[in-house]
Amino acid sequence: MHNGRVLTIGQFSQFTHLSVRTLRRYHDAGLLEPAQVDETSGYRYYTADQIPTAQVIHRLRELDVPIVDVRQILRSPDPAVRGELVADHLRRLEAQLDRTRAAVASLHRLLQPERAQLDVEVRHVPAVTVAAVEGEVGSDDVLDWYAGAMAELDAVVSSPAGSPGGLYDNSLFETGRGHLLVYRATENPPSVGRVHPVTLPPVDLAVATHVGEHDDIDVTYGELGAWVVNNALAVDGPVRETYLVGPRDTSTSTAWRTEIGWPVFNVTP
Amino acid sequence: MHNGRVLTIGQFSQFTHLSVRTLRRYHDAGLLEPAQVDETSGYRYYTADQIPTAQVIHRLRELDVPIVDVRQILRSPDPAVRGELVADHLRRLEAQLDRTRAAVASLHRLLQPERAQLDVEVRHVPAVTVAAVEGEVGSDDVLDWYAGAMAELDAVVSSPAGSPGGLYDNSLFETGRGHLLVYRATENPPSVGRVHPVTLPPVDLAVATHVGEHDDIDVTYGELGAWVVNNALAVDGPVRETYLVGPRDTSTSTAWRTEIGWPVFNVTP
DNA sequence: TTGGACCCTCTCCCAGGGGGAGGGTGCACA
DNA sequence: TGTGCACCCTCCCCCTGGGAGAGGGTCCAA
């Protein structure tokens, strides 16, 4: 170990606590270019002033920031922009943390030996013409799409009747994309922007009510599914959700009430 | 979609919000055996009472519990044991969260445009015979090994002199394993259990003090490394850490003081 | 000059998913 | 009773971000 101003990859590795392998990968990925690369031997040489950069990379990777995003952060010359990108990721981390908390809570509920029986009711829903917004949405974008569509509906529908609702294509969870429709019932549905009148077909629905946030709504889906299997023949067709009490109505998310309606026929009581 | 008691994988997928692909993988991995598998066609059939199990798996996977551990949890018949395994993972999650918090804090410090200059002092350390515990340790086990070794030292060394210290093989961060040595200086070092006298060779050390917990001690390592590169020729040899103020001395981890000593020679002032 | 530590590239492996090819099944409707 | 089509099967490759090792070149000090 013996030279003054320039470090071999092994020396640099000792100063940064990044493995030689990882440093090579970061070079290949364009994250951390060695200060100098010997053309004939391919040896990578680093300088001491690259150590802070390596450490920033180390921290970002510890926070599971994808390598491409790390590259973007490092390459933005403006520190303000860089700070904003980092802040973005920290917000993402927060959101992830919320989801983790919700999953822990849901897991506890699932593991409780005795759980309350789900009330399921079969209800005939006649055809109705509503103001709706439709779209093909990837499962990652559902929440954003939903918020935008509902805002547009609210802006256009002046005197809504009943609670807002949505129709969910079953393929959403399978292919990652699916047809979504959100609606508000109203007289004389307008046709403005994405909002247009849609006639929902009549169905028989097996309806259960999910209480609380939607993080563990799949549990209610599962319980409703079990009921449907044992009491009816399910039919293909989008699931209908109705937002009896949602974020627009209350600030306490434990008070949310969401009706889930699964299309069924031939109920065997 | 049409049968009463038994579900195809696609139907089960809709009720559990797990993709068909993932269900097949969980079958192969022994997580969720279908209630019935057609011998000739290989078709998987599930029943409604498998839905809760699928949901527990879903939650555990959301929490990044490895599939092998999920299998272990599901296969433990005793609910108390199962609860303990889950609690284990939640504790691991907490620890992970602490590390994330530390990384965020460290990142903020790293991104501050002006950072305090590190004080580095070159110090000659004469040879000294100490009571030591040595071992080859994998990098994942360092903390545990350290705690055990230090406890053993404390139990055996009755009148220690100065602060405890450690020697860290540089290969630790490279190969994932390395030689570790922790010591306490004392007169007439005893030889009991793993504790035995070791004579540490004399060295010149470039010494810097790291303040606070060790989550971001690599930053101080890096700054010290930069100093060493610019002011000395580093020599091979284990890094020496001295725990001036550590968890044994204070309950406020921001008050920790750790000296890092890098072996150097030929200092160029 | 030679030995040994160091460095290079290349290929394979891992988890835990996604995507698609190529082909067999089941069921409703004609 | 066919036939079409949605569904299911297995097998293989891809992704990220690492680790492991083979086979061979390079640097430097003794």
Residue finishing a domain among B75, B95, B112: B75
pLDDT given for residue B2 in this prediction: 36
Same domain assignment for residues A130 and A235: yes
Beta bridge partners of B210: B258
Contacts of B219 (CB under 8 A, 6+ apart): A55, B106, B109, B110
- Amino acid B21: pLDDT: 94
Total beta-carbon pairs less than 8 A apart between chain A and chain B: 158
Q: Give CA separation, A141 vs A102, A137, A177, B253, in Å.
A: 19, 6, 9, 42
pLDDT attached to residue A268: 56
Amino acid at residue number B124: H
Interface contact B221-A3, CB threshold 8 A: no
Q: Is A114 within the bounds of a domain?
A: no
- Closest chain B residue to A103 measured between Cα atoms? B59
| pLDDT value of residue B227 | 87
In this prediction, residue A195 carries a pLDDT of: 96
> In sequence order, what are the beta bridge partners of B195?
B192
Query: Between the CA of B66 and the C1' of C11, what is the distance in angstroms?
Result: 27
For B139, counting Cβ atoms within 10 Å of its Cβ (0-12 exposed, 13-18 middle, 19+ buried), the class is middle
Amino acid B148 CA to nucleotide C6 C1' distance, rounded Å: 35
Regarding whether A164 and A42 lie in a shared domain, the answer is: no
Question: Which of A14, A44, A75 is the endpoint of a domain?
Answer: A75
| Nucleotide closest in space to A20 (CA vs C1') | C7
Distance from CA of B189 to the nearest CA of A (A): 32
| Confidence (pLDDT) at A179 | 86
Residue A64 CA to residue A94 CA, distance in Å, equals 13
* CA dist., res. A228 & res. B48, Å (int): 9
Last residue of a domain, one of B59, B75, B91: B75
A65 located within any domain: yes
User: What is the chain A residue with the closest CA to B113?
Assistant: A79
Same domain, B145 and B54: no
Q: Is the pLDDT of residue A4 over 60?
A: no
Residues A130 and A68 in one domain: no
Q: Do B49 and A226 touch (CB under 8 A)?
A: yes
A249 CA to C25 C1' in angstroms comes to 49
Structure-token pair, residue B187: 């007169």
Is A113 among the domain residues? Answer: no
- Is there a single domain that holds both residue A131 and residue A70? no
Same domain, B67 and B127: no
pLDDT at residue A207 above 80? Answer: yes
Do residues A180 and A146 make contact, with C-beta atoms less than 8 angstroms apart? Answer: yes
pLDDT digits (tens, 9 = 90+) for B184-211: 999 999 999 999 999 998 888 999 999 9
- The CA distance from A13 to A6, in Å, is 13
A236 CB neighbours strand C below 7 A: no
Chain B environment of A216 (Cβ under 8 Å) = 59
Confidence band for A2, pLDDT divided at 50, 70 and 90: very low
Give the strand pairing for A257-265 and A203-211. antiparallel
* B223: chain A residues, CB-CB within 8 Å: 51
Cβ separation B17–A218 shorter than 8 A: yes
B67 and B128 belong to one structural domain: no
Looking at the fold, whether B130 and B256 belong to one and the same domain comes out as yes
Q: Does B99 reside within a domain?
A: no
Residues A137 and A254 in one domain: yes
Q: Tell me the C-alpha distance between A83 and A76, whole Å.
A: 10
Residue type, A261: G
- Here the tokens at position B112 are 């501050």
**Do residue A169 and residue A234 come from a single domain?**
yes
What residues in A contact B14, CB-CB < 8 Å? 170, 173-174, 225
Q: Give chain A's mean pLDDT.
A: 89
Question: What pLDDT sits at residue A264?
Answer: 85
Q: Which residues of B87-123 are buried (b: 16+ CB within 10 A; e: fewer)?
A: eebbeebeeeeeebebbbebbeebbeeeeeeeebebe
Q: Read off the pLDDT of each residue in A206-234 and give the average, rounded to a whole number.
A: 87
Which nucleotides of chain D does any protein CB come within 7 A of?
7-10, 16-20, 25-29
Q: Check residue A121 and give its pLDDT.
A: 92
Q: What tokens does A164 get?
A: 């807002």
State the best of B93, B219, B223 to mutate against chain A, taking most chain A CBs within 10 Å: B219
Q: How far apart are CA A198 and CA B42, in angstroms?
A: 42
Positions of strand C less than 7 angstroms from a protein CB: 6-9, 15-19, 24-28
Find the mean pLDDT for residues A252-258.
Answer: 86
The 10s digit of each residue's pLDDT in A109-157 is 888 877 778 899 999 999 999 999 998 888 778 888 999 999 999 999 9
Q: What is the pLDDT of residues B13-49, one digit of tens each?
A: 999 999 999 999 999 999 999 999 999 999 999 999 9
> What percent of chain B is modeled with pLDDT above 70?
96
Q: Tens digit of pLDDT for each residue in B139-167?
A: 778 888 999 999 999 999 988 999 999 99
A2/chain B closest Cα distance in angstroms: 6
**Tens-digit pLDDT profile for residues A85-113:** 999 999 999 999 999 999 999 998 888 87
For residue B184, the domain's CATH number is 3.20.80.10
User: What pLDDT is attached to residue A1?
Assistant: 40
Which nucleotide C1' is nearest B45 CA? Answer: D8
pLDDT (tens digit per residue) in B68-107: 999 999 998 888 898 899 999 999 999 999 999 999 999 9
Domain count, chain B: 2
Question: Residue B9 in contact with residue B54, Cβ under 8 Å?
Answer: no
**B63 domain-assigned:** yes
> Kind of pairing, strands B128-138 and B44-47?
unpaired
Q: Amino acid letter at A96?
A: Q
Residue range of the domain that includes A128:
121-265
Specify the pLDDT at position B3: 39
pLDDT at A33: 96
d(CA A180, CA A169): 6
DSSP E strand boundaries for B95-238:
121-125, 128-138, 161-168, 177-185, 196-200, 203-211, 233-234
A213 in a domain, yes or no?
yes
- For residue B57, what pLDDT band results from cuts at 50, 70 and 90? very high
* Distance from residue A121's CA to nucleotide D6's C1', rounded to whole Å: 30
Is the pLDDT score of A35 beyond 90?
Answer: yes
Confidence of residue A230 (pLDDT cuts 50, 70, 90): confident
B126 and B25 both lie in a single domain: no
B5 touches strand C (CB under 7 A): no
Q: Which residues of B touch A56 (CB under 8 A)?
A: 107, 110-111
Identify the three-state secondary structure at position A176.
Answer: coil
Span A165-183, pLDDT tens digits: 999 887 777 777 788 999 9
Q: Does residue A95 lie in a domain region?
A: no
Pairing of the two strands B177-185 and B161-168: antiparallel
pLDDT on residue A3:
40
Residue B248, pLDDT above cutoff 80: yes
CATH code, B45: 1.10.1660.10
Alpha carbon of residue A174 to chain centroid: 15
Do A259 and A127 belong to one domain? yes
Whole-number Å distance between alpha carbons of A72 and A53: 13
Give the whole-number percent of chain A exceeding pLDDT 90: 60
Q: What is the per-residue pLDDT for B266?
A: 65
Do B111 and A83 lie within an 8 Å CB cutoff?
yes
Amino acid A269: pLDDT: 47
B252 touches strand C (CB under 7 A): no
How far, in Å, CA of B199 to CA of A71, rounded? 47
- Is the torsion defined by CA of A4, B237, B121, A20 positive or negative? positive
Say if B90 falls within a structural domain: no
> Strand, coil or helix: what is A11?
helix
Quote the CA–CA distance of B107 and A73 in Å, as a whole number.
13
Task: Check CB contact under 8 Å for B56 and A223.
Answer: no
